[in-house]
Structure formats: C-alpha cells, structure tokens
Structure 1
Amino acid sequence: MAAEPKVAVVTGASSGIGKASAIALAKAGWSLVLFARRTDALRETQAECPHPDKVLLITGDVTSEESVIELFQTAVQRFGRIDLLFNNAGISHSASPLDEISLSTFQNIVNINVIGTFLCTREAFKIFKAQSPRGGRIINNGSISAHSPRLHAAGYTTTKHAVLGLTRATALDGRQLNVTCTQIDIGNAYTDMAAVNQTGALQADGSVKAEGTFDVRHVADTIVHIASLPLDVTVLNFNILATTMPFVGRG
C-alpha cells in the first residue's frame, strides 16, 4: 500500500522563498497548507503546484494568536495530521543606525519574525506531540544575520538571533517526542527582498558594493531534502549562500 502523502504548513507562502519551497514540496508529493496575508498571491502559488486540489489556502497573520490557532486547527481538520512546519514568514527593515530605529519599527519586526515564529512553533508542537504516529519537523527560516550582522540592521539581526535560540530550544524540548527542528540560514537567494544586493549592499566599512546572488530554487530543493529525512535525523543548522557573498570575514 502506498504511503499517505505527508502534510506541510508553509507560512509566508505567497512569494519568494516560501512560494518556491511550497511548489517544490508539492512536486515532491506533499500536501500543503499555505498561509499568508494575501489571498490572491496564495492562489498564484497554488496554481503552480502540480495538484492544486491538495493545497489548502488560509489567509491570516502570524502575529495573531487567534489566526495561528485557527490555521493549525483547520489544517488538521482537512488533512488529519501535520508532518512539517516551515516557519518562513518574516520581514526586514530599511538600513538604519541603531539610534534611529523607532520603537514601532522594532516592535513590528519582533512581532513578525519572533512572535509569529513562536506562535506557529507552539501550535505545531502541540499537534506533533498528540498525533499518532507522534512527531514532526519544523524548519525555521533564519538568516546569515543570525551569526554575523549587516551594518545598520540591529532590529533584523536581533530577531534572527532570537529565532536561533528558539530553534535550539525546540530541538531540545522535542528530543524525546520525535520532534526535530532546523534553522536554515540563507544568504542572498535571489528574491524581491534580496534583489537590491545585486546593485549595491551596505558593507561593514560603510561602502556599498554589489554582491552575488543565487537561484532561490536551490533553497527550495534544500527544504525538500531536509523535510524528506527521517525524524531520527536532525539538521540543526544549514547555511546556504552565494559563493561570492561576504559572510566569512564579512566586510
């Protein structure tokens, strides 16, 4: 008898890395629950999946506890279980010296990048713990900035360091429950967010230089690979970046 298709929840699935990863997972046979704020953009992602009927679209905001709870309840009602959560939803802020970052800007990026990731992780963890067979995998979209910051990116850097801590805590809390967690740290995959780096990115010495990028499909393929591993295998951290991007000895 053929194995039942596995089920993945992907946040921020309307564009960029989330969209590419969702399509790649669908092509690999996964059933999908796609979550983002823009219904029309989610439909565009769904249309590029080989079996749109196996793709459930839910519009909502990762910063809303009520919305996130409803996301996971609806996912289980539709598919019966969840095997993977890709915490992809996130934002950056415009380059600003630390003393010029407003409280509202800082709070907004914390709410989306940290609170949103926590809420989705918590709800997925509950389901992984209770379902049979028990277990599941979480992949958090971190950043190279979780290890080495860019200049004038204090808010973004802070949140990605926090996600790294949550990743490790989740892996530890899930160790005896067949729940594992990965952080994928991506450097300059070509998306709308990273496109500016091709023309000029602010360097540690204050200069502006063009940086290399790489096709986002390689990130999507990596997500599919990690997701395909058995739950007794953990990839705790995975770095993938353009070869010419300054990271080791950034600047």
Structure 2
Amino acid sequence: MDKVIWITGSSSGIGKAMAMSYASQGAQLILSARNKKALEAVKSSCSNPDKIKVFPLDLSDNKDLSSVVRQAIDFFGKVDILINNAGISQRALVKDTVLEVDRQIFEVNYFGTIALTKALLPHFLDRNSGQFVVISSVVGKIGTPLRSSYSASKHALHGFYDSLRAENYEQGIKVTIICPGFVNTDVSINALTGKGEKQGTKDKATANGLSPDYFAKKAINAIRSERQEIVIGGKLELLAVYVKRFFPLVLSRMVRKVDVT
C-alpha cells in the first residue's frame, strides 16, 4: 500500500487497532494523540515501524493548525487519508453537566476535528484527491441519556462532513463517516462526568462490545470502498438505527427506558 494515512487518537483503542492493521499492509502512517510515550509504544508494536511517524497533537489547541499540517505533509510529502478518530465521551445527565464540560467535549470532538480538516483541505484540493474519515458514533444518529453533548458533537460532525462532501465532490475529495456502536476500549474510562472528571470505570456494555481489531477490519474495508457512511456495531445498535429511521416514535419510547451507563 502506497497510501499515507494520518490517524488522530491513535495511542489506544480504535485508533491503535487501525494503525496496526494499516501498518501490516505496508501503509505509511502518521500517528497523533496527546501522549507521545503511548504513541511510541504503538509504533513499536506495529509492523514496518520505519514507515511510521509519531506526531503528538492536542486537538483542544486548535486555533491555527496550518503549521501542524505542513509538518505532517513534510513527513512523507503528502497525506492521502485523514482519519479523525480523537474524541472525548461523556457519562452525565444534562442537569448535572456544567457548561464548561459541554464546551470541552465540543472543543475536541467538533472544533478540533473540523479545524484539522480545514487546515488539510487545501492540500487535498491541490492534488484533486484525498479522503476524510470521521469516526462518529451510533449516538451521532441517536441521542441517549448520559451522552447529551457527546451525542450533539457527533451529530454536528455529520452535518459538517455531509456539506463538505457535497461541496468538494467534483474535486475528487471523499468523505467516509463511520458510526461505531459499543467497542471494547477505554472510552468509558476516560469519559467525562458532569464536573469534568474522568469516570474511571469501564461500562458493562463497552466491555461486552466489539473487539477493536474486528472494528478496525470493518472500518478499513469501508474506507477502501469509499463508503459514504456505515454503522459498525452489535445487533441492538444496528436495530436502533433502523428503528430511528423508520419508526422514530417507537425509538423515542425505547430510549426512555434503556439502561445506559
């Protein structure tokens, strides 16, 4: 594979699994996250580490990412695919969530993601080629309790990237939105409570979710096929998306009673 693939949030979980899978295929990778030590560990565990660049990045600091993008392009002379995977989840009721936490979630999940995309877009346009991949969530399509701003931030990404896709279709720019259901990662451990602290525990549903390796395989196939949007999850998550589309009132009743953590 001669693609240069930039993956944010690649120090663990979904991002790490996708990095390891792409590395085994011989791709050139740029791995970004806040934790440099964790990124170095991912690089060491990958095939062909000589084709991997570790590039620490904090998407909450997103006022001007043009210099960041220039550095990333300089590693291999181009970027073919940007996988926007970095994000923060939430575990708190609306009434218990202070506004600063809502802003923090949006700063990373939405503003950080689109800021990086906007900074890289001119490079894609100059080449008349490029693919933006967005790791959204099933709750980017369905709002559930304890996920209000997380869900809202993912809903916002759908609107932004659907518009970007339409605006740049003739220029050869592709957009793939991937909506995971429950995947067995540390996402719930790192999720923010209403006061902004990390939850520190793994949800039962998350622990019983898809393996990151299985998810990565499905996601990479969708990216290769240039799918516009795909949901990757268990039977219940897939059913919920179907019911939302065709029987929204039924789903509304179901969500009220769902036992989420």
Q: Specify whether residues 194 and 65 from structure 1 end up closer, same or farther in structure 2 by C-alpha distance, changes over 3 A only.
A: closer
Name the structure with the higher helix share: 2
**Equivalent AA in structure 2 for residue 54 of structure 1:** K
Q: How many residues align?
A: 231
Name the structure with the higher strand share: 1
Q: Distance in 2 between matches of 1:88 and 1:78?
A: 20
> Per-residue CA shift, 1:194-240, capped at 9, x if unaligned?
58332x68xxxxxxxxx8411111221123223333xxxx4121001
Secondary structure of the structure 2 residue equivalent to 1:174: helix
Matching of residues 1-251 of structure 1 within 5 Å: 5-65=2-62, 68-96=65-93, 98-131=94-127, 134-194=128-188, 196-198=202-204, 212-229=208-225, 234-245=226-237, 247=240, 248=243, 249=251, 250=255, 251=258
**Equivalent AA in structure 2 for residue 120 of structure 1:** L
Note the C-alpha offset of 1:19.
0.8
RMSD: 2.0
Q: Displaced runs of 4+ in structure 1, greater than 4 A?
A: none
**Equivalent AA in structure 2 for residue 223 of structure 1:** A
Q: Distance in 2 between matches of 1:108 and 1:65?
A: 12
What residue number does 1:207 align with? none
Q: Distance in 2 between matches of 1:57 and 1:71?
A: 13
Would you say the 8 A contact 1:212–1:243 is kept in 2?
Answer: no
Q: Distance in 2 between matches of 1:71 and 1:53?
A: 21
> TM-score scaled to structure 2, two decimals?
0.82
Q: Distance in 1 between matches of 2:109 and 2:48?
A: 30
Note the C-alpha offset of 1:49.
1.3
**Equivalent AA in structure 2 for residue 52 of structure 1:** P
Would you say the 8 A contact 2:90–2:146 is kept in 1?
Answer: no
Percent of aligned pairs with the same amino acid: 26
Would you say the 8 A contact 1:184–1:238 is kept in 2?
Answer: yes
Q: Specify whether residues 65 and 151 from structure 1 end up closer, same or farther in structure 2 by C-alpha distance, changes over 3 A only.
A: closer
Secondary structure of the structure 2 residue equivalent to 1:76: helix
Secondary structure of the structure 1 residue equivalent to 2:210: coil
- Structure 2: give runs of 5+ residues left out of the alignment: 190-201, 244-250
Q: Distance in 1 between matches of 2:230 and 2:179?
A: 6
> TM-score scaled to structure 1, two decimals?
0.85
**Equivalent AA in structure 2 for residue 243 of structure 1:** K
Q: Distance in 2 between matches of 1:47 and 1:102?
A: 39
Q: Distance in 2 between matches of 1:68 and 1:34?
A: 16
